Structure formats: structure tokens, C-alpha cells
Structure 1
Amino acid sequence: MENLLPKARPIEFHPLKLAKKQELTKSTFALEFEIPSALSSQYHFEAGQYVTLQFPVNGKVVEKDFSMTSAPYEEKITLGIKISSEESFANSLFKDLKTGDFIEVSEPRGRFTLSSKPHEFRTIVGFAGGIGITPILSHFKNILHTEPRTRLFLFYGNKNKKQVAFKNELEELANQHPDRLEIHYFYSQEKVGNGLFEGRLNEKKVALIINQILQLDDTDEESTIWDAVDEVLICGKGEMIKSVANACYRHGIRKKNIHFELFEEFNEDIYPVEKEFPLLENIEVGFKLFNKEYKTTLKDNKMRLLQQLLIQKFPVPYSCKSGICGSCECVLEEGQVELLENEYLTEKEEASGKILACMSIVLSKNIKVNFDLM
């Protein structure tokens, strides 16, 4: 999770003490922050959410988002972070942040969450790629703690065995809950003697997983484990999410039960757009952003609203461009748009006039939107 520009709504930060820093692999590490009792209500969170860290890099204060691996019952904030390069924000954190230091940490937010159902028998499947394990680990710990009737299956992809982050913690969870948690590891650049577990997690791999792993269900001899899946959680790079999500949908899981979190900018739709829209030209757009009023003209409506505003160099907040992160959330005050499928807005929010600019096709000659959400 990494916002390129902040959302127009303010983010609340507080200084938190770093209690622990741990190297996990050569390119990943974990940070654990203490939550003082005076701030316990501000740092109440749901499994799957994230926080933003503020940290000085080369004389400038930089903000980056990181998903939590901790579960709410643990009453702490633990993050898993990947170092992509020597010049990265993550590497600066790893080199310069010491145990006992204080750092500005935002209050938790994010919608990669699930409703808790402790009295139901549920089957939940997770697909994680690399550091995408972080929010899924939070979910799985929380579910194992709060839902005694839920069983979990995790399919976790990495380049090789040495790059598996949180392997010890995952194995400990599996040993503690052998009847409720099953983990399978996949390697894209290492041979392990079984073709099923070699290669990337993608649409073809999901089909093999369904046919070879999620087969006979001990709780129901007339169906398979896949037939019983209630929710799917996916986190990783955009191509992986797109491929796995579509595979799950084509194998019978409803889109509303497929949840995903993106860790980088992704400019494609997760699901194919199946509708056609009437062509409009010379569209007048007015919008409010960071307390400033703007007006512009769009040549036509062949592209979504966000993409067109970015082409015109307006500083509109965004991250994923795929309807997942909510960074481009705004209110439609005048005009009409078609809001394509998205993972972020609720039906109630859509009914109140909220839209995501990245998933909006303009359907009127004049529109007005407000990005300044308070």
C-alpha cells in the first residue's frame, strides 16, 4: 500500500515508540510499535488495515503506507516492510530507525476488512504474493482467535524459500491450529520437485489448486472444499490480483466475496468492463481540491475522470487507479457518471453521492465534484 499523493481528507498522526525491529529476510523486516494507553482509542483497528509512517529522508519528510501484520487482540502495531532498493524509503527506515526512537504514525485506516462471524462455520481462502502476506497474516491471526468454527487455507507465493517473510510465525499458527489452518507455499524461481508448487500464483495455478488441493471436503462428502468457500482474500502485485481474482470469479465465487489489497500503482481494471457508453465530447468539469476551485474541459469521455485530470497535470490524489484504495474518493455534486465496479465504496456511500474518480465514466456534458472530504 503506497499512496503517491495524499487523500484530500486530513490524516491524524501521533508519535509512537518503536519497541522492536526485526530482519526477516535479506529484503524484508518488521517494525513493532507500542500503543500508549492514552492513545488506545485512536489506534483501535480492524484486521487488514494499514497505517502511514512519516519519516525524514534526505532532508524531506516522506509519507508511506504499510499494512499491519498484527491482529486487534494483540494491542500493538506490527508492520512488515519490503526493501525494494538502496534508495527506497523502506531502506532508510531500516538503516536509520532504532529501537526506542519515536516516529509519526497515522491512525489506522483502510477497507481490506471482513465482518466477524464467530458463530458461523466458514471457509476462507487467502492468496498472497511476497510482502502481500502482511494484511492476510493480520486477518488469519484474528480469525483464528475470534472465529472457532472458521477454517483457513493460505496459498503464499515467493521467488524462493529464502524470501518467505513471516515463515516462522505462519508455521507456528499452523502448528497451533492444525485442523483449521492449511498453508501451501509456491516458488516462481526455485524447483521444489513438484510442479504444482513451482511458478507464479495466477489463473492457471488457481485452477490446479481447486482441482488438486481444495477437493474432497471431510465435512460434506457430496461437495468439495472450494464449493464451501465463503470469502477470498488476495494481496500482492496488480497482475497477480487481477489473474487470481478473475480465476476465483470464473470458478463460482461472487465478486462481492472476493476482496483484494494492492501494494503498488496499477492502471488496469481488475475485472473486464462489459458495458459500452455513449460518446460525449467537450465536457465541462469543475472540482474542488485542497480548498481550491478548478475548471477544465475534457475532450471526451473515452477515459475515466481521474485519468483525464492526471493527463492535464492536476494534483488529484490517487494510488491504484483500479477502484481499490479509495485515494480518489470524491462527492459528485452536479452531473452524472457511471461508477464501474470497485472494491472500496459501500452501497450506502454510493447512494450518498460518493464516487471514485478512477472508476467514473462521465455521462453528462457538465459535472462538478468535490475531493475535499471531511
Structure 2
Amino acid sequence: MSRFFPLTIASVHQETRDTIVATLAVPGELRETFAFTQGQHLTFRTQLEGEELRRSYSICSAVQDGDLRVAIKRVAGGQFSNWANDHFKPGASIEVMPPTGQFNLPLVPDAARRYLAVAAGSGITPILSIVKTTLAAEPGSSFTLLYGNRASSSVIFRDEIASLKDRYQQRLNIVHMMSREPQDVELFNGRIGAAKCEELFARWIRIADHEAAFICGPQSMMLEVSQALQAHGMAKENIKVELFAAGTPAKARAPRPATANDPRESEITVVVDGVQRSFAMAKDKESVLDAGLKNGIDIRYSCKGGVCATCRCKVLEGKVEMDANYALEDYEIARGFVLSCQAFPITDKVVLDFDQDD
């Protein structure tokens, strides 16, 4: 759903010096609307100095917890993150879009699988939801969690992770990596990257014993860990990734020269919340998302950078090309899904459905 709903902030906890955890109160009539799958995120909206801001934050609750929590870390120059850390108070209201995202795998109660999770900094947020939910839903499965931070003081959910370890002593293995705080075991010092993965996979973590992996963090870390996992035999389709920031800035799109047989405009039809709308747009000048918003269509979006997948839709007719993609996996693209914030029409007619999830 592309609609935003006003939710009340039930409580705010100062998790670390620069990170808050906010619990949202969901009224009974919206429980089904805000039901979530582990690893999904929420998109928030507010008006700040006359400008509409939208930001996505991962849900950190387990599905079984019965509450809805997000962690928001201050980011240098981050308009929304700094505003939220200063203004999120119990009783305040914030506009929230229902959960979206594909950063998960289907759970099977009688499964006995071994998973690997790799997180850096605030990338722990969806990973915590995935680990907690999976350990509760699959009693025969286990997790290895590799979590990187600069120092112990910046570890988000440190106490909750420790409690989780106490609860699942035989099924949860946790490795804390510190890049700026020396630890007793030299193997656990340094940044999570290609070189460190080679050390860990050779001396501590046997990849062949793990059936799937979840990675969340900066782009460089995600790419290096994913490549290392594949080099050690894990199939690419078993590696789920989620970025909390794109490492490359958006670039201006170079227009393609038009020909007599290739009109400069494309007729776009979109299906949003069951309503079909059409509009014409110029090719190669702006994304389908931006053109749709200019035509008054309330298309869901958040980052506009190809990272969060909030604007994910399915191509039913015609073709588009994407400038960037940090969110969709190969199988999703093969099924016709695209990110409308990065999609530019290359055919004279394009039909996009924003209501399809599978």
C-alpha cells in the first residue's frame, strides 16, 4: 500500500550515544496492515522546513515480539535521522507506510538449517529481526552472527544480542569484530572485508556448513563479503543482501539520440492500490517515479537511490532500463520487477503494476 498512516510513538529508548530505538503503537484496526515479515522496513514521512522528507528504517522486532520497533542512528548531515533523534518522543505522531521489503527467506518450522549473518554498524537492525524470528520459528536451525563495529560503545543492541545468546546458547554463535578497539583474539580485530573474510572462513567459519547468508551494511562491505562467500562455494541465490546506503552518488543521465522511428515520448500506465492511471513522459529525462509524481500519482517511494526497494513494481508490458540497482536480486529482475526510481522507458508503451509482491 502506498498510503501513510499516523502512528503514535509509544516509547523511545537511547540505545547508544547516537542511536534511538522507537516503538510504534499500532491500533487494533491497523494490526493486519502493519503485520510484517522479518527483515522488512518502514518508510516514514514528515514535513521539515517546508520540505517533505521520506526515509526508510528497518524493523528490529521479531515477528513473535508483538511490537513494532525501529532503530534510527544519527548520520552526519542526515536531515531525517537528526530530526528523529531530537524530536521522537512518547505520544508524538509520525506518518508511516506499511512494511515493505524482500530481505528474508521463507521459514519452515521443521527445518534444520545453518545460517550466516554479517552486519556492520546499524546494519544489525534487520539482521536482529531475522535472527530472532528464525531461531523462534525454526527450533532446529542455528545462526552464526558476524557483527562489525568501531568499538564496543557503538554496538547497537549489545544487551539484546547478549540475552539472545544466553537464550540460544547451542544455536547462536556470535563474533564481534572491532576496527578501532583491540580485542584479545587478533582474528576479531579489523574491518569486515575481503581479507578478513578469508581469515575467518579459513580459521573460524566453515562456509560449507551454512546454507544461506544475510548481509547488511555499506556497499563495499556487502560486495566483498558476497564475493568471498561465493568464492568459498555458497550459491549466489542463497545470499541475501540489504544496503543502508549506496556508495556511489546518482549521476545525470545522458540522453539517447532520438530517431524518426523512435519517438521521444512514452505512454506510461501504472496500477497503484488497484487504480489504473496513464500519462505521457519524455524518454531518458526523468525516472518513471518522478514523472508519475509530477502527474499527481501517489506512488510509494523513499530513498530514490535504488537502495530501499520501496518503489518496486512489475513490468507487465513494454521495457524499461534501470540506471542503478542495489535492492533487487537477479530472480526478481528475471520475473519482471524493477525499481521505478531508476526506471526509464525504452519502448513507446509501458505498463507497471505496483500492487504485485511475488
How would you bin the TM-score normalised by the shorter chain? 0.7 to 0.9
Residue in structure 1 matching 2:328, options 340, 344, 356: 344
Residues 1:47 and 2:46 aligned together = no
Alpha-carbon distance, 1:76 to partner: 0.9
- Out of 254, 279, 294, the residue aligned to residue 293 of structure 1 is 279
Structure 2: tracts of 5 or more residues without a match: 250-255, 271-276, 294-300
Deviations 1:295-343 (A, max 9, x none): 4456xxxxxxxxx746xx9689684766872636452623587999986
2:296 corresponding residue in structure 1? none
Q: Deviations over 1:92-143 (max 9, x none)?
A: 1122221122222221111111110221210000000100000000001101
In the alignment, the residues of structure 2 paired with residue 332 and residue 252 of structure 1 have an alpha-carbon distance, to the nearest angstrom, of: 35
Gap runs ≥5 in structure 1: 1-9, 215-224, 269-279, 299-307
Distance 1:367 1:356, change over 3 A: farther
Asked if the contact 2:56–2:308 (Cα under 8 Å) also holds between the matched residues in 1, the reply is no
CA contact (8 A) 2:145 2:173 kept: yes
Query: 1:142 is paired with a residue of what secondary structure?
Result: helix
CA contact (8 A) 1:287 1:371 kept: no
Partner of 1:103: 94
The one-letter code sitting in structure 2 at the alignment partner of 1:47 is Q
2:202 maps to what in 1?
A: 211
TM-score, normalised on structure 2?
0.80
Counterpart residue type for residue 241 of structure 2: F
Equivalent of residue 5 in structure 2, options 11, 14, 17: 14
Distance 1:201 1:263 in 2: 16
CA offset digits 1:162-185 (Å, max 9, x no partner): 110100000000011110001111
Deviation at residue 208 of structure 1 after TM alignment:
1.3
Does the CA-based 8 Å contact 1:125-1:153 persist in structure 2? yes
How many pairs are equivalent? Answer: 330
Distance 1:318 1:242, change over 3 A: farther
Corresponding residue for residue 258 of structure 1? 239
Aligned partners of 2:246 and 2:307 also within 8 Å: no
TM-score of the two chains, using structure 1 as the length reference = 0.77
Look up the match of 2:188.
197
Shift of 1:234: 0.3
2:99 maps to 1:115? no
Q: Tell me how far apart the structure 1 counterparts of residues 166 and 67 of structure 2 sit (CA, whole Å).
A: 23
Partner SS state of residue 107, structure 1: strand
Q: In the TM superposition, what are the counterparts of 1:1-374 in structure 2 within 5 Å?
A: 11-85=2-76, 88-214=79-205, 225-267=206-248, 282=258, 286=266, 288=268, 293-296=279-282, 309=286, 319=303, 325=309, 327=311, 329-331=313-315, 333-334=317-318, 344=328, 350-351=334-335, 353-356=336-339, 366=347, 368-371=349-352, 373-374=354-355
CA contact (8 A) 1:189 1:199 kept: yes
Q: Deviations over 1:207-233 (max 9, x none)?
A: 11111112xxxxxxxxxx421211100
Cα 1:249–1:324 change in 2 (3 A) is farther
Alpha carbons 1:72, 1:142 under 8 Å: kept: yes
Task: Name the SS for the 1:45 alignment partner.
Answer: coil
> 1:354 offset after TM fit, Å?
3.8
Alpha carbons 2:113, 2:142 under 8 Å: kept: yes
> Is the CA contact (8 Å cut-off) linking 1:249 and 1:255 kept in structure 2?
yes
What is the CA distance between 1:372 and its match in structure 2?
6.3
Change (3 A) 1:249 1:343: farther
CA distance in 1, matches of 2:180, 2:305: 29
Q: Could you report, residue by residue, the CA deviation over 1:249-297 in whole angstroms, capped at 9, with x for unpaired residues?
A: 11111111000111123449xxxxxxxxxxx974656253885634445
Match of 2:274 in 1: none
Secondary structure of 1:17's counterpart equals strand
Change (3 A) 1:341 1:249: farther
